[in-house]
């Protein structure tokens, strides 16, 4: 569009033609995620998905929404935007698989001050990659250009997913009991929680840059902090297909301390043996350099465990074997015990 024919809306900072070119750019990325059930192409007013008939006797839809918090700031500092979308998908699908649900489809919300088509395409490339990893379809989204609301180069992300489960197979923690064992699945690093504290320690207190090579981490700081959140959906779904899992916990915001109690029945506590798994070096780095207490570490970060399966003791060896066959790194990290006194902490770190 020539300068003399620019619309008043473009003059106000919203370029509809650029937004349309962005949609054209991401169409092949999005369509590559389509699974059976998708009824619409990108660009419609709503995404249509058919549940199909006969696959479930009493289906229940399980939904989740989330973002990636201030990890976005790390992506901006590194000028690397092709993995943050994996984080976005992971934060949502990991929440629905906790109930034993298979994620069906995903939608995203991308808000920016001024649309940078290359940057936005990289973000969607990551979202599409995450959907492929989770075997769910990216069926819609919204790109909002809001000049004056976001600083140049900054953006915000939110994600939404819907999964499905058979009603009588939903995992809700009601079967968790004393004597059950806790199997932890290794995280890739910090995932997408605790970045406000990470940024305070690394940038404010230590004065580091994302380009600084950190010997303890074996990489630059930015590379360590941008490692994408792991997606556990296929692993968990494979295990629950063959074994009786009593509870599943996604170690997200609130760490061990606030997430494990969400699946614990009254009278139960989780005893976690913190020396039972190998922690990625980034956690020792943050704890030592930031002078963070053990209590704060376990309430802020995943500390190397991204997902926990609560299982019968007699099935531990077989489940650990299957997890290893699925290329997971499982650890036996604790057990369910009796809560001795009312008011005692439901999670004990020893």
Instruction: Identify the pLDDT of residue 71.
Output: 97
How does pLDDT run across 186-240, given as a tens digit for each residue? 999 999 999 999 999 999 999 999 999 999 999 999 999 999 999 999 999 999 9
Q: What span, in angstroms and rounded, lies between the C-alpha atoms of 50 and 288?
A: 51
Q: CA of 230: how far to CAs of 89, 130, 222, in Å?
A: 10, 9, 17
Q: How far is CA 341 from the centre of its chain?
A: 34
Contact call for residues 32 and 41 (beta carbons, < 8 A): no
Per-residue pLDDT at 288 exceeds 80: yes
The mean pLDDT of 282-307, rounded to a whole number, is 97
**Percentage of the chain with pLDDT > 90?**
77
Count helices and strands in the chain by DSSP H and E runs: 12, 12
CB 188 within 8 A of CB 228: yes
**pLDDT on residue 12:** 58
- Angle, helices 16-31 vs 117-134, to 10°: value is 20
**Residue 2 pLDDT more than 50?**
no
pLDDT at 53: 66
Task: Write the class of the CATH domain 181-349.
Answer: alpha beta
**Interval 333-347: pLDDT, tens:** 999 999 987 778 999
List, for residues 80-97, the tens digit of each pLDDT value: 999 999 999 999 999 999
* pLDDT for residue 1: 42
Neighbour tally for 154: CB within 10 Å: 14
- Structure token digits, residue 133: 């990893």
Bridge partner residues of 38 (DSSP)? 49
**Domain map of the chain by residue range?**
3-169, 181-349
Tokens 């009278």 appear where?
267
Measured in whole angstroms, the distance separating CA 322 from the mean position of its chain's CA atoms is 23
Residue 30 pLDDT class (50, 70, 90 cuts): low
Nearest to 289 by CA among 197, 210, 223, 218: 197
Rounded Cα–Cα distance for residues 125 and 131 (Å): 10
Q: What is the SS3 assignment for 184?
A: strand
List the Cα angle 230/234/237 in 5-degree steps.
125
Tokens of 166: 């058979």
pLDDT at 6: 67
pTM: 0.91
CATH architecture of the domain formed by 3-169:
2-Layer Sandwich (3.30)
């Amino acid at each position: 569009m020539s300068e003399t024919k620019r619309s008043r809306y473009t003059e106000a900072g919203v370029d509809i033609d650029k937004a349309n070119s962005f949609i054209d750019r991401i169409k092949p990325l999005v369509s590559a995620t389509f699974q059976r059930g998708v009824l619409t192409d990108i660009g419609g007013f709503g995404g249509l998905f058919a549940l199909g008939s006969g696959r479930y006797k009493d289906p229940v839809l399980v939904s989740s929404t989330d973002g990636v918090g201030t990890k976005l700031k790390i992506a901006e500092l590194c000028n690397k935007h092709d993995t943050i979308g994996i984080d976005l998908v992971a934060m949502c699908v990991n929440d629905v698989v906790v109930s034993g649900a298979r994620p069906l489809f995903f939608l995203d919300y991308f808000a920016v001050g001024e649309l940078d088509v290359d940057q936005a395409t990289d973000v969607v490339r990551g979202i599409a990659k995450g959907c492929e990893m989770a075997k769910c379809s990216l069926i819609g989204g919204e790109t909002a250009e809001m000049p004056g609301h976001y600083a140049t180069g900054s953006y915000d992300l939110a994600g939404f997913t819907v999964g499905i489960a058979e009603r009588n197979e939903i995992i809700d923690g009601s079967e968790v009991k004393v004597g059950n064992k806790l199997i932890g699945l290794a995280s890739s690093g910090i995932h997408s929680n605790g970045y406000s504290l990470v940024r305070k320690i690394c940038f404010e207190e230590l004065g580091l840059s994302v380009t600084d090579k950190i010997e303890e981490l074996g990489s630059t700081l930015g590379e360590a902090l941008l490692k994408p959140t792991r997606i556990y959906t296929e692993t968990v779904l494979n295990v629950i297909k063959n074994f009786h899992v009593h509870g599943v916990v996604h170690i997200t915001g609130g760490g061990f301390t606030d997430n494990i109690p969400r699946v614990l029945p009254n009278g139960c506590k989780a005893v976690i043996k913190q020396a039972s798994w190998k922690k990625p070096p980034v956690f020792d780095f943050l704890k030592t350099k930031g002078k963070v207490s053990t209590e704060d570490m376990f309430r802020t970060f995943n500390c190397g465990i991204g997902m926990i399966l609560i299982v019968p003791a007699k099935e531990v060896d077989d489940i650990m074997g299957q997890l290893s066959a699925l290329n997971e790194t499982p650890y036996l990290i604790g057990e369910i015990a009796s809560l001795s006194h009312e008011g005692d902490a439901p999670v004990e770190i020893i």
